[in-house]
Amino acid sequence: MAFDYDLLVIGAGSGGLAASKRAASYGAKVAIVENDLVGGTCVLRGCIPKKLMVYASRFSHLFQDAVGYGWEKVGPKFDWKYLISAVDKEVRRLSDRHISNLEKAGVDLISGRGVLVDSHTVAVGEKKITADKILISVGSKPVKLPIPGIEHVWTSRDMFGLSEQPKRLAVVGGGYIGVEFAGIMNGLGTQVTEIIRRDYILRGFDGDVRRELQEGMTRNGISVYSNTTVEKIEKSNGGLQLTLAGEKAGTLEVDGVLYAVGRKPNLENLGLENAGVEVKNDAIAVNAYSQTSQPNIFAVGDCTDRANLTPVAIDEGRAFVDTEFAGKPRHTNYDNIPTAVFGDPEACSVGYTQEGAIEELGEDRVAIHRARFKPLYHNLTGAEERVVLKLVVNKENDRVLGAHAVGKDAAEIIQGVAVAVTMGATKKDFDATMALHPSTAEEFVTM
């Protein structure tokens, strides 16, 4: 049978873009279907616009810190509408650049929503397109729990387009998104209350990271309500009233609510059942090579709910193409993926947590090396900021299993450390590395 394309990609996010361009470079005839701007969550309403807003929020600290270094105190004024407009302009520029890159690669861009008709056919509106292989890369979307008044909340997607900056914001959820937006909005001058179901934010991260980051957020002016849930949201004269249960039972008046309790694969109305694509635990089921239950249909990125990070989706997409179109079978390695939370302060991690290493090896086989100190930068500012660096080591072979950090520029530091962890460096290798002084990162080789 003759097909319209060798590869048809549904979803022009990070994984889909990476796969389509690489497949075209191998000589495949490729098309990509997208019903939104090109770029996916990362470019449009995730990593990039969020990081730009993180940068914006940090200037408030710089104005304060400068006084300790002899600069005259000033009363800066922040323009929310200007920032939102500038971020949107940059997002659209990046989206246009992705479109240009597709054109240069020879990939056809088809606008509209792609729906599977069968294992080789995708409908886009009234048009039906056939392909030898199909790649699904449709990402994920925010979860909303069915509580009274849930229609009044914002999701992360909404935060990038608010016409007015809320004076009082409740952030519901203690994951990446909740923690990062709590820091952003606090830094921009909003009064922020973060509401979490557990003792500490960032479930799954190292315990020291969770505690230190939460304490740092509190020092910086964010109110964290632990072991608390939102039972109901109602409109009030002052904005919205939240009814809370748990440790902070009662009511809370705010101007807006960011609901960030998680995300799930965006699979609605995709036609998976038409093509016999299996779904498990609300995600597309795939094997190590991103192949679904249909041999010619593949899926990468958040819609598979493996490791939901942009670099992972990109590698999954490229690995799929290398395997299927270049005869170079490979799959993504999910070990030692570095992650960062751009909160206030920053936190980052690579490899095993202390808790995970103990569970895997036993407490008697795990050594912990930790440094906690006030960074030199704040010796003159007077701020009570702290940095925490931590190494998790296997006592039997001295291998560094994990590294963690909380504090300024933590994400920039951990990327280099991740190389060492991935290569299997030992604690002796770290100790034998000459320190770069004075820096925060040097503590990783001197602790």
Biggest alpha carbon–alpha carbon distance for the chain = 75
3-state secondary structure of 357: helix
* Rounded Cα distance, 13 and 10, in Å: 9
Sheet hosting strand 366-373, strand order edge to edge: 339-341, 347-351, 400-406, 387-394, 366-373
Amino acid present at 351? G
Angle at 314 between CA 340 and CA 271, to 5 degrees: 115
Q: What ranges make up the beta strands (E) of 320-365?
A: 339-341, 347-351
Other CB atoms within 10 A of residue 250 CB: 11
Query: Could you tell me if 67 and 114 are in contact, meaning their C-beta atoms sit under 8 angstroms apart?
Result: no
Angle at 19 between CA 16 and CA 21, to 5 degrees: 105
| Residue whose pair of structure tokens reads 């632990």 in the numeric block | 226
Sheet hosting strand 191-195, strand order edge to edge: 223-225, 191-195, 168-172, 256-259
* Rounded Cα distance, 116 and 240, in Å: 41
Structure tokens at 308: 């939901």
Burial class for 187, CB neighbours closer than 10 Å (0-12, 13-18, 19+):
buried
Cis peptide bond upstream of 295, omega within 30:
no
* Rounded Cα distance, 290 and 393, in Å: 32
Tell me how far CA of residue 30 lies from CA of 96, 135, 350, in angstroms.
19, 11, 35
Half-sphere exposure of 147 (CA within 13 A, CB side): 19
Q: What ranges make up the beta strands (E) of 154-238?
A: 168-172, 191-195, 223-225, 228-236
Asked about 152 being catalytic, the answer comes back as: no
Given 61, 331, 378, 437, which residue is catalytic?
A: 437
Q: Which residue numbers are catalytic?
A: 437
